[in-house]
Amino acid sequence: MKNINYEKIKYLFFKHSKLIIALLTMLLIILIFLLFKTSYSSRNLNEFDEIQNNLDAIYIKDKNLYNKTKVELIKKEAKGIDISSWQGKINWDKISQLDIDFIMIRCGLRGQNSPKISEDKYFHQNIREANRLGIPVGVYFYSTAIEEIEAIEEASYVINQIKDYKITYPIVYDFEIFNKHRAVDISDEVINNNALTFLKYIEKHGYKGMLYSNLTNLKYHWNTNLFNDYHIWYAQYADTKNSDIEYDMWQYADNGHIDGIKGKVDLNTSYITYQETE
pLDDT digits (tens, 9 = 90+) for 32-49: 776 665 555 444 656 666
Element (H, E) at 146: none
Query: Is pLDDT of 12 > 80?
Result: no
Closest of 115, 88, 248, 68 to residue 172, by C-alpha: 248
pLDDT digits (tens, 9 = 90+) for 68-121: 899 999 999 999 999 999 999 999 999 999 999 999 999 999 999 988 999 999
Please, what is the average pLDDT of the chain?
89
Q: pTM value?
A: 0.81
- How far apart CA 98 and CA 156 sit, in angstroms, is 33
3-state secondary structure of 153: helix
Averaged over 219-244, what is the pLDDT? 93
User: From residue 178, how far is each of 71, 188, 222, 227 by CA, in Å?
Assistant: 33, 8, 10, 18
In one letter, which amino acid is 230? Y
3-state secondary structure of 106: strand
**How do the domains of the chain map onto residue ranges?**
1-63, 71-276
Query: Is pLDDT of 66 > 60?
Result: yes
pLDDT of residue 58: 87
pLDDT of residue 274: 95
Query: Is pLDDT of 7 > 80?
Result: no
pLDDT digits (tens, 9 = 90+) for 137-188: 999 999 999 999 999 999 999 999 999 999 999 999 999 999 999 999 999 9
- How far apart CA 131 and CA 136 sit, in angstroms, is 7
Closest of 199, 228, 210, 216 to residue 80, by C-alpha: 210
**71-276 maps to which CATH number?**
3.20.20.80
pLDDT of residue 38: 54
Least confidently predicted of 82-86, 130-134, 224-228, 241-245: 241-245
